Amino acid sequence: MIDVILKKGKEKAALQKHPWIFSGAIDKVKGSPLNGEVVKVLAADKSFLAYGYYNSDSRVAVRLLEWDEEKTIGKDWYHSKLKQSIAARAHVLNNEDTNTCRMVFSEADYLPGLIVDKYANFLSLQILSAGIENVKADIIDILRTELNPAGIFDKSDATARTHEKLELSQGLLWGETPPEFIEVRENGVRYHINIAEGQKSGFYCDQRDNREILAAYTKDREVLDCFCYSGGFTLNSLKNGAKHVTSVDSSALAIETLQHNLGLNGFTEDQQTSIQSDVNKQLRAFKDEERKFDVIILDPPKYAPSRSALDRAARAYKDLNRLGMLLLNPGGIMATYSCSGAVDLETFKQIIAWAALDAGKEVQIIRQFHQPEDHPVRISFPEGEYLKGLLIRVL
């Protein structure tokens, strides 16, 4: 096995079990490892630190896997990690109300670059590291054994693959091709989702808990669901007795899928209005119309993919939330989220404070939102805590 030796003083993160070694921390590489090859990482004094995937084309040059030198990184090791990850989610799926869940969450489950989502009897995989790409056949075989899915679909079309010099990939990996719409259940709400054409892995199960929490505030109220996608917040609000929900998304597929889901759950046309439009443009149109709502949900895409984009993202979040505040009735409720890992919770709170100042509004934080337990945050990898949100009352 090839040794990767770190510069003096650069071993601290590895000793604290952070899973990333950046290229600038490496002193020398003894040999020429292939991208994705497992290497042994050593401190400057040649003491063992960990095993990990090497990639000379990535800024994260080594993704650490195992800190026990006696362990062997092979199929049995992957089987053990996958069994552990799957077992931890068993109770999430152990009821009739929910049959969709994230089964593997990359670094948080000690499998950097692997995301596995379960949608009813199908699995959707995202492979984002060269190391996992190299053992894809073993991963598929283990998932077949442990979960017995009808089919496994590859959704490795994320731009993160380009950082590892991997081509984008999508298509059937094993078993049956998923139908155009798979029916899943989450918190007793039924969804038709499209794995092949849908965003990311097909469905945002990271808002499962937050959708249910927010629904409690929507009974008999006028609700605006922005970036509604396939209708998670819309459907939970209607289930809880919202007076009417207006749902906005720029994607025609999202609106089409939402319409399927409304019918699937027995909701009628007079209960909900769908608008295909750019959200910021539509919010300005509502403002010009002097339209008001009792509850507004802002769940935008990732505005800050990296820290270099933080300033631009902060301005975008501020403007979006300012517009939302201006559309609320006095005492109205707004649930606002950020899925940008580069924006921490305290920064997000500050952005909301700036938005309130610009809108001329007083704001109370009444709840904080987080990602659910099937998206765990590994204590040595705080970067995994990407989803945060605030439930605010606007006075």
CB atoms within 10 A of CB 180: 12
Q: At what angle do helices 232-239 and 208-215 cross, to 10 degrees?
A: 40
Q: Is 228 a catalytic residue?
A: no
Intra-chain end-to-end CA distance of the chain, in Å? 63
What DSSP character marks residue 323?
H
Structure tokens at 20: 């990333």
Angle at which helices 310-326 and 279-288 cross, to 10° = 30
Angle 345-359/310-326 helices, nearest 10 degrees?
50
Give the integer Cα–Cα distance in Å for 325 and 380. 36
Catalytic residue among 101, 205, 228, 339: 339
Cβ count within 10 A of residue 294: 19
Q: What's the token pair of residue 75?
A: 């199929």
* Sequence-distant contacts of 252-260: CB under 8 A, at least 24 apart: 252/276, 253/194, 253/197, 253/198, 254/199, 254/228, 254/229, 254/230, 257/181, 257/192, 257/193, 257/194, 257/198, 257/229, 257/230, 257/231, 258/228, 258/229, 258/230, 258/231, 258/234, 260/181, 260/192
Give the chain's radius of gyration (CA, Å). Answer: 22
* Beta-sheet strands, E only, within the chain: 3-6, 20-22, 26-30, 38-42, 48-54, 60-66, 100-105, 114-119, 122-127, 151-154, 171-175, 182-186, 189-193, 222-226, 244-249, 272-276, 293-298, 328-338, 363-370, 388-394
* Phi, psi dihedrals of residue 2, rounded to the nearest 5°: -75, 140
Residues classed as catalytic: 339
